[in-house]
Amino acid sequence: MKILPILLVGFASWSVAAEDTVDAMAQAHADDEPVATPVATLSPAQPILGAPVEYGAIDGTPLTGYLAVPEQGADTAPGIIVIHEWWGLNDNIRGVTERLAGEGYRALAVDLYRGELAEDPKTAMKLSRGLQQQAEQANDNLRQAYDYLAAQQAPRIGVIGWCRGGHWSLRTALLLPDQVDAAVIYYGSLVTDRDELATLQMPILGNFGEADPLIPLDDIATFEQTLRELDKDVDVKIYPNAQHAFSNPSGTAYNAAAATDAWGRTTIFFARHLQQAE
């Protein structure tokens, strides 16, 4: 595998809401643990290569992520920025990154915690809160991930994230509204402000759980309705009886039927907008 070495929007109100979400997330994950789910453990659809890579640096400290590519066709593969859950960049995120590579993508798993991992909810809450308090560094981290894939000549670049990563997937889309080519949000906290959503130029796919106590159904409805009123390309699905984190690579809330369907929607969406787009 060959490995080669903005626009800002107003997030003030969102930062407050996101800070509140950290507390709610801690309650929702109080008895959770980062055990692997089939999202992470199912084999890629084709042979892949994976390795740690340095995709940038902050304050002189390298940003080390995980890059997975298909063995065949990597040089022309579209890119996907993969954003971890609140547990961090663990082996389960590497596993789902490899599955995405198996679908024909140059998939780069970023590390927003910059080397730290959580094995329990208390640590995950601490890391997630610290990330929120250093949001501009996280923004820079994600911009550099995009630039890394762009420097590798990825013809199109998408972004995906689960749980806390779903929040950052949407934030990446808002940071790079005319650069990101497709965004997938798995039950991340949402923006409903019309002016912010108006900047988005890419198609958006959202997968949410009906029984998720963290993402209000009213927020999902407003998010989707506002994007449709703005004539944006949006596809949102709410899974009956599915809890928060129902399709996480790590965790105990896994819902096989919902997760399988959401993965199918995700791969079809990325194929349409990253592989088949002109």
State residue 256's pLDDT score. Answer: 98
Which residues have a Cβ under 8 Å from the Cβ of 249 and sit 6 or more positions away?
36, 37, 39, 40, 85, 92, 93, 95, 96, 162
Q: Measured between alpha carbons, how far is 211 from 239 in angstroms, rounded to an integer?
A: 8
Q: What is the mean pLDDT of residues 169-186?
A: 98
- Which has the higher per-residue pLDDT, 76 or 276? 76
- Three-state SS at 63: strand
State residue 176's pLDDT score. Answer: 98
Interhelix angle 12-28/121-133, rounded to 10 degrees, is: 180
99-146 pLDDT, tens digit each: 999 999 999 999 999 999 999 999 999 999 999 899 999 999 999 999
Task: From the options 3.40.50.1980, 3.40.50.2300, 3.40.50.1820, 3.40.50.670, give the CATH code of 20-275.
Answer: 3.40.50.1820
Q: Give me the residue spans of the domains in the chain.
A: 20-275
State residue 32's pLDDT score. Answer: 87
Cβ atoms of residues 53 and 79 within 8 Å: no
State residue 5's pLDDT score. Answer: 32
Q: What is the mean pLDDT of residues 165-169?
A: 97
Q: Measured between alpha carbons, how far is 163 from 87 in angstroms, rounded to an integer?
A: 10
Counting residues of the chain whose pLDDT is more than 90, the rounded percentage is: 87
State residue 21's pLDDT score. Answer: 67
Q: Measured between alpha carbons, how far is 33 from 39 in angstroms, rounded to an integer?
A: 15
State residue 102's pLDDT score. Answer: 98
Sign for the CA dihedral angle at 203, 154, 250, 90 comes to negative
State residue 180's pLDDT score. Answer: 98
State residue 15's pLDDT score. Answer: 38
14-37 pLDDT, tens digit each: 433 455 567 777 677 777 899 999
Q: Which helix (H) or strand (E) holds 42?
A: none
Using alpha carbons, list the distances in angstroms from residue 58 to 54, 136, 263. Answer: 11, 11, 33
Pick from 117, 185, 182, 106: nearest CA to 150: 106
Which residues have a Cβ under 8 Å from the Cβ of 72 and sit 6 or more positions away?
46, 47
181 has a pLDDT exceeding 70: yes
State residue 31's pLDDT score. Answer: 77
196-225 pLDDT, tens digit each: 999 999 999 999 999 999 999 999 999 999
